Structure 1
């Protein structure tokens, strides 16, 4: 049986991958965080911004998982969570399910800050989606959630087949 490369299919995948890289790059730009901090009227070190947002959205969250989410090593994130704790925006606690896991949880002061960030983000997204139909936004959300769910599962499935 002769193997034939489907270059059209590879090109589609490469274009899609490029779009994902552009999206991740846009979200990871430090300038975007600085803009959000300024427009929200908050005082926060830019390096702590993505951690606070993640803790606010997904917390309480294990520090190891938090490090994975922001693409930093555990020790760096642990130190940064300690800084958030020092300034009263987050607290560290043991997971009620597994006492070996240290979690980061948001405080009321942290929640007040993320509420301001959320208002600023909503304004930004409203301007971006100004000319999008409601069904287009809903479809984008649905497809992104579907992709992320499958994207997370694939490495786990591959680990099982490598054995």
Structure 2
């Protein structure tokens, strides 16, 4: 009689391939510049497409320093610094000294930036309603819970030696 763990182990490589394929597809869709344009249009926000991911990054990770935001966004820190300067000139973010290290300047949303990201969040909510229209409420809750768990685990994954 096969051990239940061995059966699960035999299935796991295919499940991992399916998860990886789904993540690649999701990232591909999310990284399309046209998707950012669509999101901004649905939100009624006029913003340079290159600044959009950084504004959302400041919303999600802020207060955040240039180096951390550059690492999280996969961009060069000099580019991120320059783009944060543009967001600051637009009045969408403010930069201030870090509470823990006064040598580091961190970006935070301004009141105007919060208004803009609230509009983007509302547009994202409308898109999600379309995506999940045929899902049961329990399925959406389970998906959110499992995706959050996956995100937490992968974020805290120690580097291989």
Tell me whether the two structures share a fold, i.e. TM-score over 0.5. yes
1:109 to 107, 112, 121: 112
Gaps in structure 1 of 5+ consecutive residues = 1-5
Map residues 53-92 of structure 1 onto 2, 5 A cutoff: 53-92=56-95
Does residue 52 in structure 1 map to residue 61 in structure 2?
no
Question: Per-residue deviation at 1:121?
Answer: 0.9
Gaps in structure 2 of 5+ consecutive residues = 1-8
List per-residue Cα deviations over 1:25-64 (Å, max 9, x = no partner): 1111111100011111111000001111121233111222
Report the equivalent of 2:142: 139
Q: Secondary structure at the match of 1:72?
A: coil
* RMSD over equivalenced CA pairs, Å: 1.7
Between 1:51-60 and 1:81-90, the stretch displaced more is 51-60
Does residue 14 in structure 1 map to residue 17 in structure 2?
yes
Instruction: Report the TM-score when normalising by structure 2.
Output: 0.87
List per-residue Cα deviations over 1:113-155 (Å, max 9, x = no partner): 1111111111111111111111111111111111111112223
